[in-house]
Amino acid sequence: MDLALHVRQAAEAARAAARLLASTSGEARNAALEAMACALEAEAAGILSANAEDHASASAAAGLSAASLNRLKLDAGKLAEMVAGVRAVAALPDPLGRVRLHRRLDEGLDLIQLTCPLGVLGVVFESRPDALVQIGALALKSGNAVLLKGGAEARRTNAALAAAIHRGLEAEPAIPVAALQLLEGREAVEAMLDLNGLVDLIIPRGSNALVRHIQSRTKIPVLGHADGICHIYLDRAADPAMAVALVLDSKVQYPAACNAVESVLIHAEAAPRLLPALVEALTAAGVELRACERCRALLPSLAPATDADWDTEYGDLILSMRIVDDMDAAIAHIHAHGSGHTECIVTDDIVTAERFLREVDAAGVYHNASTRFADGYRYGFGAEVGISTGKLHARGPVGLEGLVTTKYVLRGHGQKVSDYTGAGARRFRHEDLPD
Amino acid sequence: MDLALHVRQAAEAARAAARLLASTSGEARNAALEAMACALEAEAAGILSANAEDHASASAAAGLSAASLNRLKLDAGKLAEMVAGVRAVAALPDPLGRVRLHRRLDEGLDLIQLTCPLGVLGVVFESRPDALVQIGALALKSGNAVLLKGGAEARRTNAALAAAIHRGLEAEPAIPVAALQLLEGREAVEAMLDLNGLVDLIIPRGSNALVRHIQSRTKIPVLGHADGICHIYLDRAADPAMAVALVLDSKVQYPAACNAVESVLIHAEAAPRLLPALVEALTAAGVELRACERCRALLPSLAPATDADWDTEYGDLILSMRIVDDMDAAIAHIHAHGSGHTECIVTDDIVTAERFLREVDAAGVYHNASTRFADGYRYGFGAEVGISTGKLHARGPVGLEGLVTTKYVLRGHGQKVSDYTGAGARRFRHEDLPD
């Protein structure tokens, strides 16, 4: 069969499943998550053996980096963590049916704004097969159907995981099995990206290049971010020990993360005081430094940065450093080169800090804290769907609430708009009621 | 100068203005709105004379419908309403700086999610020049800069309105005049639609064709809806008098509105009881009816509907009618042909009503109320930015909150993520605090 037609039919089946899911109770969805967890446990041996085959093929093909091979690899411990993750999602509060607004427009005419599922999610992920289980669980919890497309190198693992999940869902009659479907082949992604209207939200989980490609290719809203170019600005009034500690943590603690710092901006008056200790600590931690000419005037041994460095997410133990005249120059640099992810100021001057927090336009603005805190779990969301640098719908780390929309429910007794129009008309009460 | 470059420079100036606006107080923005209102009053004569010239040219050119000419026409009364509208926007609560979440991650590490402006809005409107003033006021109130492009036939009026607003803004030093800019020419719209990254949200105000064109042309998020194909389902247990009254109000009260009903679906068992009175009342009100074959079997004098009727927003005194076997068939019709705007059930059976409200996927789901209630003012928002049939960011009538986003502000004392990682690590408190 034609692949585009096949993907469309899968999306239509997912849409039909989503209509049913939207009416399920939180209890039914949690029971399905528990059934999914049990099935993954029951079929652990088959999943691990499929994964061993994937890993052997990928190792033999030699196209994948050691890091990618490591992300692909499952063992009993990782599988147990995935199952625990499913149960943790089940334990979260139900994101559906929450009352955002309850307003009496008039006697016997009550308006309620309720959370409800988006509908159909399209998820594209790369080598890490745990994304399938995690996003599958989040989708089910929030009453959404989901089309999943994983990496070719994890094909057998993903098929085994999806088959186990399906067997779990089959045990729950309220939950349609078509709510979770696995697509195969790169062309399937392209076909899915064309289904604006059938797919409500695309969630890419993978490299910046993957995200950028998807964003450029589709009219469907995309949740996520292509780049994480985060800055730390060391103000004139920065505490030297804190400056070193926060830059180190933000760079070294997990350099591949999107919330790792890529550029440090240093107030010109503070640079002679801050730079030597900073360079010493970073170098000792194995960080490669690329510095502006003003830094190099202070410490000539530093390697020079090029213009491209200010726009680069290294995702590695590399850091660029620039001396700026003042905070306005730092903010201008951040707005010119940042990706609107997470931006930090280190200073003991509270007035300066508050101006930075107010003026910088980013999903996260931090004072005296590591940029690495930008994370759904650290924010206490219990789950993370992704981190959005877009400004619409959700911005910053996104929990389950990023997978829901709302609808307005109006319950009346035959009220007409003409009753509220013209001379002698009834007047609206617009009285807000407790949930 | 090259037009695309001109529009880009305008957008860059708007972006710079938006950065300043984001830090203004609610008082400063309200003072600017009052200055804007006063300037419109002071320059009323010039505005009305520019409008008279526009109206005369448009009448002479004879390309515009009588309705469009009427929308173009300003008089002292309409201008006074526009000014009153600006003051009403000033009187609304400040949408900025609202605390959506306040969570203590740990002692001395406080996370706050705050509302803040989107940045730069792009507004494209057709003949109605009051859109310029209304959206200009909403943008300013919410701290957003705005690029406005009106219809060619209102060119002089729009220029006079924008000039008056600028003179008002000049009186307020905190508010940059570049926060509101008027673009000219159809090509300027096309150039603006390419500025993804510089323009944060497009708001079209005009025909379905305009909205559809803009949606297809841009990667920038678009707030609004192309179609308003709303249904009323008359259930088996519908009260006949209420059914007639609600269909009449939903169709006749203002047929050009997007929330007017276009198709009525009637339960087969109720049709013999409901249809004759309904047809009589609608015909008496001058509504042209287009009916399915099952309706025509009951009332052969009815004109036949074609397949295209089920997908048509008439925006006029025309209504299609269809008999369905049951509510499932009605819901299937609504999902196949509706635009996700506003869908209503008329029934005295509360269980059936609740199932309809739960299962129908639309921005508004109504029980026993006119579809015409779907409106920001009737919902008590005090202002309406538009009605969105998209599911992301805002759905249904959108008030000022549709023009804001949020940012996470994290205030720490040097906390590092490594402190919270590994054996013996600190644990997060995740304690929610009152606003």
Decide: residue A212, CB within 10 A, 0-12 exposed, 13-18 middle, 19+ buried: middle
- Where is average pLDDT lowest: A5-9, A68-72, A87-91, B169-173? A68-72
Residue A128: the pLDDT is: 84
E strand segments, B206-260: 230-234
Given A22, A105, A414, which is nearest B246 (Cβ)?
A414
- Where is average pLDDT lowest: A105-114, A215-224, A351-360? A215-224
Contact: A103, B405; criterion CB under 8 Å: no
Contact: B415, A358; criterion CB under 8 Å: no
Query: For B156-168, what is each residue's pLDDT tens digit?
Result: 999 999 999 999 9
Given B215, B248, B392, which is nearest A221 (Cβ)?
B392
pLDDT of residue A435 exceeding 80, the answer is: no
Helix, strand, coil tally for chain B in percent (to 5): 45, 20, 30
Sequence-distant (≥ 6) Cβ neighbours of residue B430 within 8 angstroms: A380, B103, B104, B105
Chain A residues with CB-CB distance to B374 below 8 A:
408
Q: What is the mean pLDDT of residues B215-227?
A: 90
Given B365, B393, B409, which is nearest A393 (Cβ)?
B393
Q: What is the mean pLDDT of residues B83-111?
A: 97
Kindly indicate the confidence band of residue B1, based on its pLDDT and cuts at 50, 70 and 90: low
pLDDT of residue B62 exceeding 80, the answer is: no
- Closest Cα of chain B to A392: distance in Å? 5
Query: For A306-316, what is each residue's pLDDT tens digit?
Result: 999 999 999 99
Chain A residues with CB-CB distance to B23 below 8 A:
358-359
Residue A402: the pLDDT is: 95
Q: How many percent of chain A have pLDDT more than 90?
A: 89
Residue B181: the pLDDT is: 97
Chain B residues with CB-CB distance to A414 below 8 A:
239, 242, 245-246, 368-369
Number of H helices, E strands in chain A: 14, 17
- Closest Cα of chain A to B359: distance in Å? 6
Sequence spans of domains, chain B: 3-217, 230-373
Sign, Cα dihedral of A86, A91, A92, A93: positive
Given A368, A391, A417, which is nearest B370 (Cβ)?
A417
- Where is average pLDDT lowest: A33-42, A142-151, B377-386? B377-386
Q: How high is the ipTM of this complex?
A: 0.95
Residue A70: the pLDDT is: 87
Find the length of chain A: 435
Contact: B245, A416; criterion CB under 8 Å: yes
Q: How many percent of chain B have pLDDT more than 70?
A: 100
- Closest Cα of chain B to A195: distance in Å? 14
Q: What is the mean pLDDT of residues A113-118?
A: 97
Chain B residues with CB-CB distance to A397 below 8 A:
408
Chain B residues with CB-CB distance to A379 below 8 A:
103, 105, 111, 408
Contact: A411, B367; criterion CB under 8 Å: yes
Inter-chain CB pairs, A–B, below 8 Å: 213
Residue B420: the pLDDT is: 96
Chain A residues with CB-CB distance to B28 below 8 A:
none
Edge to edge, what strands does the sheet with A364-369 contain?
A303-304, A288-291, A318-324, A261-267, A230-234, A342-346, A364-369, B404-415, B109-117, B99-106, B431-432
Q: What is the mean pLDDT of residues B209-216?
A: 92
Contact: B407, A365; criterion CB under 8 Å: yes
Residue B301: the pLDDT is: 96
Chain B residues with CB-CB distance to A395 below 8 A:
405-408
The dotted CATH code for B3-217 is 3.40.605.10
User: Which chain A residue shows the shortest CA-CA distance from B199?
Assistant: A391
User: Which chain B residue shows the shortest CA-CA distance from A199?
Assistant: B391
Q: What angle do CA A371, A375, A376 make, to 5 degrees?
A: 155
E strand segments, B150-253: 180-183, 201-205, 230-234
Contact: A405, B415; criterion CB under 8 Å: no
The dotted CATH code for B230-373 is 3.40.309.10
pLDDT of residue B318 exceeding 90, the answer is: yes
Contact: B410, A366; criterion CB under 8 Å: yes
CB A361 within 8 A of CB A340: yes
What letter does residue A305 receive in the DSSP assignment? P
Mutation target to probe the B interface, by most B beta carbons within 10 A, among A218, A371, A411, A413 is A411
pLDDT of residue B394 exceeding 90, the answer is: yes
Chain B residues with CB-CB distance to A407 below 8 A:
361-365, 395-396
- Closest Cα of chain A to B213: distance in Å? 13
Given B363, B414, B430, which is nearest A408 (Cβ)?
B363
Which tokens is B357 given?
A: 């409200």
Radius of gyration, alpha carbons of chain B: 25
d(Cα B138, Cα A278) in Å, to the nearest integer?
Answer: 47
Query: For A67-115, what is each residue's pLDDT tens digit?
Result: 888 889 999 999 999 999 999 999 999 999 999 999 999 999 999 999 9
d(Cα A414, Cα B245) in Å, to the nearest integer?
Answer: 8
**Average pLDDT taken over every residue of chain A:** 95
Contact: B103, A380; criterion CB under 8 Å: yes
CB B151 within 8 A of CB B130: no
Given A118, A366, A428, which is nearest B391 (Cβ)?
A118
Kindly indicate the confidence band of residue B119, based on its pLDDT and cuts at 50, 70 and 90: very high
Residue B207: the pLDDT is: 86
pLDDT of residue A63 exceeding 80, the answer is: no
Kindly indicate the confidence band of residue A1, based on its pLDDT and cuts at 50, 70 and 90: low
Contact: B22, A415; criterion CB under 8 Å: no
- Closest Cα of chain A to B24: distance in Å? 10
Query: For A323-350, what is each residue's pLDDT tens digit?
Result: 999 999 999 999 999 999 999 999 999 9
Query: For A386-425, what is each residue's pLDDT tens digit?
Result: 999 999 999 999 999 999 999 999 999 999 999 999 888 9
Chain A residues with CB-CB distance to B408 below 8 A:
363-365, 374, 379, 395-397
Residue A383: the pLDDT is: 87
User: Which chain A residue shows the shortest CA-CA distance from B421?
Assistant: A253
Given B23, B369, B370, which is nearest A358 (Cβ)?
B23
Query: For A125-139, what is each residue's pLDDT tens digit?
Result: 987 889 999 999 999
- Closest Cα of chain A to B11: distance in Å? 15
